[in-house]
Structure 1
Amino acid sequence: MTELLTNYAAGRWQAGTGNGTPLFDPVLGHALVRVDSTGLDLAEAFSFARQQGGAALRALTYRERAALLAAIVKVLLANRDAYYEIATANAGTVKNDSGVDIDGAIFTLGQYAKWGDALGDVRALRDGDAARLGKDPAFQSQHLSVPTQGVALCINAFNFPSWGLWEKAAPALLSGVPVIAKPATATAWLTQRMVKDVVDAGVLPAGALSVIAGSSAGLMDQLQPFDVVSFTGSAETAGIIRSHPAVAQRSVRANIEADSLNSALLLPGEAPGSEAFDLLVREVVREMTVKSGQKCTAIRRILVPAAVYDAAAEAIGAKLAGISVGNPRNDSVRMGALVSRAQLASVREGLATLQAHAQVLYDGRDRPLVDADPAVAACIGPVLLGARDADAAQAVHDVEVFGPVATLLPYRDSAHAIALAHRGQGSLVTSLYGSDETALAQTALAVAASHGRVHVVTPDVAQAHSGHGNVMPMSQHGGPGRAGGGAELGGLRALAFYHQRTAVQASPGVLAALGL
C-alpha cells in the first residue's frame, strides 16, 4: 500500500484514522501516496493555531515576520528539485509549467519578505494622517490597522498546489495571522511536502502554519468571528462557503476567487501579420497550453475584428499544431496532462456543451500522445472553437471549460467588443492587443469595471510584459461578479484582509505614543 501522508495540526504531525484517498499519476495512472484527515481533533487544531501560533506571530514586528518569510524561501530553494519531481508525478506538468507553480511561489514569498522588511519594527500600521474631530486640535482621530486575532483558513484549488499555498500564506504570516492550509485533495502531495520541509526546518513558531491534507469536512465549522477564510475554486463551492453559518452568521471574513471566462481582445485596425496580431496569437496559444489550460486566468474567449476572424483561426490553429502532448518526462512534450481522469471527463463534457453552439476550428484531440496511453493518461490535445455569431452563442459566455480550450469570437466595432468582454459577467483578467495607445487606454477604462486586471500588450512591451495569465504579486488578483468578488496580492494591499482597521480617538500626545 502507498505511503499515507500526515497532517500537521496542533503543533504535531498526525495521521488520519481512515484508509485514505489515493493520489494518482495522471499520465501513468498508478497510485502515488494517500491522504486522510479522519479523526483529527479540528477544534484543537484551530485553537492551537489561534492561541499559540497567533500570539507568537503578533509578538513579532513586521520586519521580524518578513525575516520568517525569507527563511521559508531558503528552505524551499534547498528542496526545489524534489518539488519538481512531485509536480511531474502528481500533476503531470512539464518542467516549465511546474516552474510557474513552484518558482512563482518562491518569487511571491521573496517579494513579501522584501516589502515586509520595509514596514519596519512596528506591530501596527498607520492608515492615513490624524484628523481633527472639531475646531480644537486637542482631540483627533487616527486610523490604524492591527492583525486580526484569529486564524486564516486557506482552501486552495488543484491547479496550483505550491503557488496557491504561498500567495495566501505570505501576506497572512507577514500580517501576524496563523495559517491552516487545505489543499485540493488531488494534488495535495506538493503542498504537504512544502509545509513539512518548512516545519522540519523550524523556521516558524509552533502553530503558525498547519496543513490538513485530507477531507475539508468540518473545517468551516471551526471558524470563529475573528477568523478569515480565503478560497479558490468553483463557484458552486464558493456559494456553500458564503452561506455557511461561520460567514453568514458569525461574520467570518471571506475572500473568494471562483470561475472566470477571461478574454483576449485585438483592437480594430490590426491586420493579420501586424505585430499586435502576432502577439495575440502567441499569447492565446501559450494560455491555452500552459498547465494544459488549467489556470483560472487562462484565455477562454478571443475577441477579434470580424474581418480577421478567418486569419486568426488559421494562425492560432497553425501554432497549436506544433504543440506535442503526452508524458512530461519526455523532453519533446510541450503540454502534459490534466490533473486526473475525472478532470478529463469534465473537459470533454464541457467541450460537448460548447460544440452545440460553436464549430471546431482546430482539433488536437485526434493527434497521438507522446509516451502515453490514451486509455490511461488524462491527456487531451488543445481545441480551438469558433462562433461567427458571438451574440447568439450564449454558452461560450457562460461555460468555462477548465482545460486547453478557447473560443474565437468576431466583433463588429469597439463598442461590440467591449460589450462581449463584459459578457463574461466578471473576470479575473482581460488582455488587450494593439498599437494605438489612446485607443488601448480608452478600452482599458471601458472594460475595467468587470475585470480585476487589464493586461495591455503593445509591440514595445513584446519582450517585457509578464503574460496574460501570470499572476504577479505586485498586481491585484481577483475579480468582480462570477470571478468571486475577491482580491488577493496587489503588493501590501493584500495585508488589509488579515487586519482590523480601527479609529483611535484621543489627544495628539496619546496618538503619538502609539508609535506608528
Structure 2
Amino acid sequence: MTNYLQNYLGGAWQARAEPVNKLLDPITGAHIASTGGKAENLQAGFDFARTQGSAALQAMSYGERAAMLDQVLKVLQANRDAYYDISLANSGTTKADSGVDIEGALFTLGYYAKLGAGLGDARLLLDGSPAIYSKDKLFQSQHILTPVRGVALFINAFNFPSWGLWEKAAPALLSGVPVIIKPATVTAWLTQRMVADVIAAGILPPGALSIVCGSSAGLLDQLRPFDVLSFTGSADTAVAIRSHDAVARHSVRVNVEADSLNCSILGPDALPGTPSFDAYVSELVREMSTKSGQRCTAIRRALVPAGIFSAVAEAASAKLAQIKVGNPRNEEVRMGSLVSREQYDNVQAGIRKLAGEAQTIHGGSSQPLVDADPAIAACVSPTLFGIRDADQATLVHDHEVFGPVSTLLGYRDTEHALALAQRGLGSLVASAFSEDSAWLARTAQALAASHGRVHTVTPEVAKTQTGHGNVMPGSIHGGPGRAGGGEELGGLRGLAFYHRRSAIQGSAQTLENLSATAKAWIV
C-alpha cells in the first residue's frame, strides 16, 4: 500500500480524499505515494493560522522561539535515516546528494536556533539609532521591526523538499510568523513526513505549521494584506503570482526566486597546471553532477580565457567521463536521476535546444546507466556544451536547462568576461577562480550589482571554501532581475521579510521604555 500524503490545516489532519496525483520512484517507476486534489476548508485553515498560530508564537520572546527551533531540530535529527530513504525513493538521489538537501536543512535550523538565542527575551527589534527632531533632543524617532500579523505562505520547487522548507520556515518561525507550506507535488513526500514528525512531537503551537500537499488551487485567494508569500520556481509562474489580486490589490509582500543563469569565471592567470585551473574544473564538474544539476545555483555558463578553452574542455570532459549515472542504490553510482520522467523530457528538450547553437564537448547519452532501465529511469548523464565565440551565443544566455548541463564560453579579456556575465540579466550567484586576489576583488565588485552572491576562490581557500552552489544561512540567497529580485537568509537579515518596519516618534523617555524589550536588528 502506498503512502497517502494528507494535508494539515486548522490544527488537524484532513481526511483522505480520492488520490489525484501519483508520486513515482524516478528510477524504477514504482508508485510510492499519492496526494489528493484541492485542500478542504482553506479559508478556515488560513484564519486559524492567523489567529491561533500567530497569537501563540508572538506571545513568546525571540529566545523562546529559538529554543522551539532547537527542539524541532532534535526531532528531525532523530528521524534522519527515514528521510534519506524517502529522498532516495522520491527524488532518485544518491546519499551524498540527499545530504545536500537534508543536512543543509538541519544545519540551517541549528544556525537560526543559535542566532535567535542571542536575541534572548527581546520582543521587538531596533533598526538603527534614534533620529533627533528637536533642539533640546527630547523629541526623537526610532525605527522598529515587529512581526507581521499574518501568515507566511511558501510555494516551493521540487528540487529541495527538505532545505526548501526549513530555510524559509526557520526565520519565519523565529520571527513569530505561522507557516503554510505548499511543496511541489512531485517530491512532496519528504516535506510532508518532516511536517508530520514535528506536528506529532507537539513542539509547535497549533496553527504554527501547516501543509498542503496536492493542488495549489485557491491558495493565493486566501492571502490578506498582512500575509507574506515566498515562491521558488519558474519565472513564468512568478509573473502570474505577481499579477494576482492578493499581490496587485492588497500589497501582499512577495519574495521570488526564479530562473538563474549562474556563471563561473576562470581568471586570466589560471593557466593549465595551476591550482586555480584545477579547482575551477573540479568545481564545474561538481556543480554539473550534484543533485543531477537540479540546483537553482548550479553553474550554467562557464567563462574561460579563449586561449585555454580547449584545455578546460579536455580536463572537464575527462572528469565527467568518470561519473557513473544510474540507480543510487548501487554504491558505484555517483549521480542519480532527475525527479521525474516529465523533468527528464524537459531537460532533453533543453539539451536539443542548446545543441542548435553550441558544440557538444561531452555528451553522456551513449553511456550505459548502472542498474537502471533507460526507458523508465529519469536519468540524464552530464552534458557539457562549448561556444568559443561567446558573442555569437544567444540561447545559452537566455534559456536555463535545469539538469546536469553547462556551457563553456570563451572570453577575450576581463571586460569581455564581465559583459558575458551580465547577459544573464541577474543571477543568484557568480564565482571566480584566480590566484590574483586584487583581480578577484575588482571582479567581485563589478559582478555584485547583478548577482545576489559572488563567490571568489584563491588556492589558499580552495579546500575550505563552501562551494559555488552551496547556500549558507549567514549569506544572502537571492538575486536581481531574472533571478526574481528577492532575498532570503543572510543571518538576521532573513528575519526582515517577516517583519514590518515602523517609525515610532515620541519623547526620549518613551523611546527608552520601548527599547527595554528590544534588541538591535543588525549589529
The answer to which of 505-514 and 85-94 deviates more is 505-514
Aligned to 1:203: 203
**Residues 340-355 of structure 1: matches in 2 within 5 Å?**
340-355=340-355
* 8 Å CA contact 1:16, 1:40 repeated in 2: no
* 8 Å CA contact 2:19, 2:37 repeated in 1: no
- Aligned to 1:171, the other structure's residue is in SS state helix
* 8 Å CA contact 1:130, 1:141 repeated in 2: yes
- Aligned to 1:443, the other structure's residue is in SS state helix
Q: Which amino acid is the alignment partner of residue 129 of structure 1?
A: S
Aligned to 2:116: 116
Structure 2 residue 19 is the aligned partner of structure 1 residue 25 = no
Unaligned residue ranges in structure 2 (runs of 5+): 519-523
**Residues 174-193 of structure 1: matches in 2 within 5 Å?**
174-193=174-193
Encode CA deviations 1:200-233: one digit per residue, 9 max, x unaligned.
Answer: 0000000000010111110000000000000100
* 8 Å CA contact 2:7, 2:212 repeated in 1: yes
Distance verdict in 2 for CA 1:463–1:475, change over 3 Å:
same
Deviation at 1:136?
A: 2.3
- CA distance in structure 2 between the aligned counterparts of 1:185 and 1:43, rounded to whole angstroms: 21
Instruction: Indicate the percent of aligned positions where both proteins have the same amino acid.
Output: 63
Q: Which amino acid is the alignment partner of residue 80 of structure 1?
A: R
* 8 Å CA contact 1:17, 1:38 repeated in 2: no
- Aligned to 2:511, the other structure's residue is in SS state helix
Structure 2 residue 41 is the aligned partner of structure 1 residue 35 = no
Deviation at 1:3?
A: 3.0
**Residues 280-359 of structure 1: matches in 2 within 5 Å?**
280-359=280-359
Structure 2 residue 135 is the aligned partner of structure 1 residue 147 = no
Deviation at 1:269?
A: 2.1
Deviation at 1:16?
A: 5.0
Encode CA deviations 1:79-130: one digit per residue, 9 max, x unaligned.
Answer: 0000000000000000000000000000000000000010110110011111
Encode CA deviations 1:311-339: one digit per residue, 9 max, x unaligned.
Answer: 00000000000000000000000000000
Encode CA deviations 1:266-299: one digit per residue, 9 max, x unaligned.
Answer: 0112211111010000000000000000000000
Distance verdict in 2 for CA 1:471–1:39, change over 3 Å:
closer
Q: Which amino acid is the alignment partner of residue 53 of structure 1?
A: G
- CA distance in structure 2 between the aligned counterparts of 1:247 and 1:39, rounded to whole angstroms: 22
- CA distance in structure 2 between the aligned counterparts of 1:184 and 1:17, rounded to whole angstroms: 18
- CA distance in structure 2 between the aligned counterparts of 1:121 and 1:458, rounded to whole angstroms: 42
Aligned to 2:224: 224
**Residues 36-51 of structure 1: matches in 2 within 5 Å?**
36-51=36-51
**Residues 62-81 of structure 1: matches in 2 within 5 Å?**
62-81=62-81
Q: Which amino acid is the alignment partner of residue 55 of structure 1?
A: A
Deviation at 1:20?
A: 2.4
- Aligned to 1:130, the other structure's residue is in SS state strand
- CA distance in structure 2 between the aligned counterparts of 1:203 and 1:12, rounded to whole angstroms: 15
- Aligned to 1:55, the other structure's residue is in SS state helix
Deviation at 1:37?
A: 4.2
* 8 Å CA contact 1:301, 1:407 repeated in 2: yes
Q: Which amino acid is the alignment partner of residue 458 of structure 1?
A: T
The answer to which of 290-299 and 127-136 deviates more is 127-136
Deviation at 1:513?
A: 1.3
Deviation at 1:17?
A: 3.0
Deviation at 1:462?
A: 1.0
Q: Which amino acid is the alignment partner of residue 493 of structure 2?
A: R
Q: Which amino acid is the alignment partner of residue 506 of structure 2?
A: A
**Residues 62-141 of structure 1: matches in 2 within 5 Å?**
62-141=62-141
Q: Which amino acid is the alignment partner of residue 253 of structure 2?
A: R
* 8 Å CA contact 2:387, 2:393 repeated in 1: yes
Aligned to 1:373: 373
- CA distance in structure 1 between the aligned counterparts of 2:413 and 2:189, rounded to whole angstroms: 48
- CA distance in structure 2 between the aligned counterparts of 1:423 and 1:134, rounded to whole angstroms: 50
Aligned to 2:521: none
Encode CA deviations 1:171-205: one digit per residue, 9 max, x unaligned.
Answer: 00000000000000000000000000000000000
Deviation at 1:36?
A: 1.6
Deviation at 1:38?
A: 2.9
Aligned to 1:8: 8
- CA distance in structure 2 between the aligned counterparts of 1:39 and 1:27, rounded to whole angstroms: 29
Aligned to 1:411: 411
Deviation at 1:15?
A: 3.1
Deviation at 1:398?
A: 0.4
- CA distance in structure 2 between the aligned counterparts of 1:244 and 1:26, rounded to whole angstroms: 33
Encode CA deviations 1:461-516: one digit per residue, 9 max, x unaligned.
Answer: 01110000000001000000000000000001010000001111011111111122
Encode CA deviations 1:57-80: one digit per residue, 9 max, x unaligned.
Answer: 000000000001000000000000
The answer to which of 245-254 and 266-275 deviates more is 266-275
- CA distance in structure 1 between the aligned counterparts of 2:428 and 2:36, rounded to whole angstroms: 33
* 8 Å CA contact 1:4, 1:15 repeated in 2: no
- Aligned to 2:479, the other structure's residue is in SS state coil
- CA distance in structure 2 between the aligned counterparts of 1:253 and 1:213, rounded to whole angstroms: 23
Aligned to 2:442: 442
Deviation at 1:18?
A: 3.3
Q: Which amino acid is the alignment partner of residue 133 of structure 1?
A: Y
Deviation at 1:163?
A: 0.0
- CA distance in structure 1 between the aligned counterparts of 2:345 and 2:85, rounded to whole angstroms: 26
- CA distance in structure 2 between the aligned counterparts of 1:428 and 1:497, rounded to whole angstroms: 18
Deviation at 1:39?
A: 4.9
- Aligned to 1:487, the other structure's residue is in SS state strand
**Residues 153-168 of structure 1: matches in 2 within 5 Å?**
153-168=153-168
Q: Which amino acid is the alignment partner of residue 348 of structure 2?
A: R
Aligned to 1:242: 242
Q: Which amino acid is the alignment partner of residue 357 of structure 2?
A: H
- CA distance in structure 2 between the aligned counterparts of 1:90 and 1:497, rounded to whole angstroms: 31
Q: Which amino acid is the alignment partner of residue 24 of structure 2?
A: F
Aligned to 1:511: 511
- CA distance in structure 2 between the aligned counterparts of 1:5 and 1:436, rounded to whole angstroms: 52
- CA distance in structure 1 between the aligned counterparts of 2:39 and 2:410, rounded to whole angstroms: 55
* 8 Å CA contact 2:7, 2:39 repeated in 1: no
Unaligned residue ranges in structure 1 (runs of 5+): none
Provide the TM-score with structure 2 as the length reference: 0.98
- Aligned to 2:432, the other structure's residue is in SS state strand
The answer to which of 500-509 and 129-138 deviates more is 129-138
- CA distance in structure 1 between the aligned counterparts of 2:499 and 2:188, rounded to whole angstroms: 28
Aligned to 2:362: 362
Aligned to 2:233: 233
Q: Which amino acid is the alignment partner of residue 188 of structure 1?
A: A
